[in-house]
Chains A and B, each alone.
Chain A
């Protein structure tokens, strides 16, 4: 009896999305940096030598050294402690806004991409409109009209970035719609809900995950910019953008007040960029094939 055997599989278990030991360096380094930042954010209070808002009237604008590892600012606050605690805010901007924007954008994009026709047209026009105001400007506009608060900034960033998420998911959905396995489901008479959630969405995850990663850096940077302009976190918060702004006036006499938060932000963003870029390469179906066996 001629029965075809499948080619011998090297592993019997379900192939995971990525094989850990074959991951490219970018994911490992990036992931490592991100992990460090997340830990700092969680353990900030414990790690910081001083409370972030504690002022030391006699020790203002001191250079790094002694008990103040990163120096102090014009109010005598310890820069190191403020940088450590400030990581929370930046992560909140980045991760919070990223997740929220996906929460808004992904369902819209999926729905528009799958339905096509009128629904899609209308959504595209609305998205065009939203994207026709430059992001920062929109942020300024929205935050100018209400008293600033962290959650409002996060929400604003999420709303600003949701349209591009919707766009990307929409184009993924459009591409998948033409695949024959989706047509097979339609030919079977499957409901729309089944087709979108069980056939299309599982195949859209790689793109969504990559987008999530990339959005985090955008959120962090945009949030910091808004704080820098005074529309994000408010004093005495130790948000990094705010710290840089506060240190600007005295940058020639006490540069460390602006430099350290800036470096912290740089390291964080580099970490997320490496991670996001590495994820994108790993999850790219053309390349993924080699990692999945």
Chain B
């Protein structure tokens, strides 16, 4: 297990670093002159050249990269061109908002998704299985922004129960915070939950057909014990894998959902940065999100290794 952790950590560092290079590289391809953007489109060329000089935009790329990278390592993400402020506090604020959305969503997805999947597998072929299957099938087919708009229409437009945009800080007003969170969370979880439920159901069905489950039943163990102790733990391993994959989709969904609900989180910030061509902000956002994503992946992998005794305890000892 120690070797596995070591290996993953080394990969983590390598990937993170490569990511920064790649992201930096791609964003440098951005057309449109940064200096022009700061000073204004029609300024005097010498003023533009002066800004370029000051920002070090004429230096060779690797040097620019190095400068940027070392600043990032110190926690300084630069200044937003459009908002004319340091980026780091903006990012941190957005981070907190997005994290609340993400964490609540993941928990819902994991708990409800697994429960639905197990239910479907155990009641295979019966009406509750068919209903859940239908539900999850629609879940994987519907685009999340459409679903979000439908929810807004119903709950904010028609029933006028929940707010459609924005958010509130938890510390100031917990119930408001919750109200602002509900619709986005439901939107995000709906599609992911379907995915997880299906995977859990199919891996649970597979596990229920295995020899060891049959052997457990053959020993007269109560059905409850067979399902929870013998089957579920092994069926959950592929589910952890799917949840890991879903992290990527989660990030994507959050970006879109935050846009739909004008929720002031990381995703919306990134879209804003892109639309405004705010280069430093764009770089900062994408690198941060990717870094968090890679880290989350690592945690998920370690979790998987923890639960799979074959990895945790190593191979055969005669």
The answer to whether A265 touches B143 (Cβ under 8 A) is yes
Q: In the complex the two chains form, is B152's CB within 8 Å of A251's CB?
A: yes
Residues B149 and A258 in contact, CB atoms below 8 Å apart: yes
Least CB separation from A231: chain B residue: B274
| Partner of A265 from B23, B140, B146, B253 at Cβ < 8 Å | B146
Q: What is the bound-complex CA distance between A273 and B198, given in angstroms?
A: 13
Given A262-B149, A270-B141, A273-B141: A134 and B293 interface contact (C-beta under 8 Å): yes
* 14 more CB-based (< 8 A) A-B contacts, given A129-B19, A140-B286, A251-B153: A134-B247, A134-B249, A134-B290, A137-B286, A141-B26, A141-B27, A145-B27, A146-B31, A251-B149, A258-B146, A259-B150, A262-B149, A266-B141, A269-B143
Interface residues of A in 255-286 (CB under 8 A from B): 255, 258-259, 262, 265-266, 269-270, 273
A133 to B255, CA, bound (A): 14
In Å, the complex CA distance between A133 and B247 comes to: 11
Once the chains are docked, how many angstroms separate the CA of A224 from the CA of B143? 8
A128 adjacent to B248 (CB under 8 Å) = no
Contact residues of A: prevailing secondary structure: helix
Q: Which of B22, B252, B294 has the most CB of A within 10 A?
A: B252
With contact pairs A265-B146, A266-B142 given, residues A229 and B153 touching in the complex (Cβ less than 8 Å): no
Residues in A lying within 8 Å of B, measured CB to CB: 128-129, 131-137, 140-142, 144-147, 217, 221-222, 224-225, 228-231, 241, 244-245, 247-248, 251-252, 255, 258-259, 262, 265-266, 269-270, 273
- Closest A residue, CB atoms, query B12: A132
A137 touches B252 (CB 8 A): yes
Tell me which of A225, A244, A273 contacts B149 (CB under 8 A): A244
- Check: B275 CB closer than 8 A to any chain A CB: yes
In the assembled complex, which residues on chain A have CB atoms less than 8 Å from the CB atom of B22?
Answer: 129
- The contact of B30 among A133, A145, A217, by CB within 8 Å, is A145
The verdict on B18 contacting chain A, using a C-beta distance below 8 Å, is yes
B31 to chain A: which residues have CB within 8 Å?
Answer: 145-147
* Residue in B closest to A164 when the chains form the complex, CB atoms: B245
In the complex, what residues of A have CB within 8 A of residue B18's CB? 129
A251: contacting residue among B11, B23, B157, B252, CB under 8 A: B157
Query: How many B residues face the partner with a CB closer than 8 A?
Result: 48
Q: How far is the CA of A266 from the CA of B290 in the complex (A)?
A: 30
Q: Are B289 and A134 in contact (CB under 8 A)?
A: yes
Q: Which residues of A contact B294 (CB under 8 A)?
A: 132
Residues from chain A with Cβ under 8 Å of B27 in the complex: 141, 144-145
Interface string of B232-271 (1 = CB under 8 A from A): 0000000000000001111111011001100000000011
CA of A270 to CA of B150, assembled, Å? 18
Task: Select A137's contact among B141, B152, B255, beta carbons within 8 Å.
Answer: B255
Residue of A nearest to B252 (CB): A136
Report B99 CB to chain A, min CB distance, Å: 15
Shortest Cβ-Cβ A-B pairs, 9 listed: A136-B252, A262-B146, A134-B251, A134-B248, A269-B141, A144-B274, A252-B157, A270-B141, A145-B29
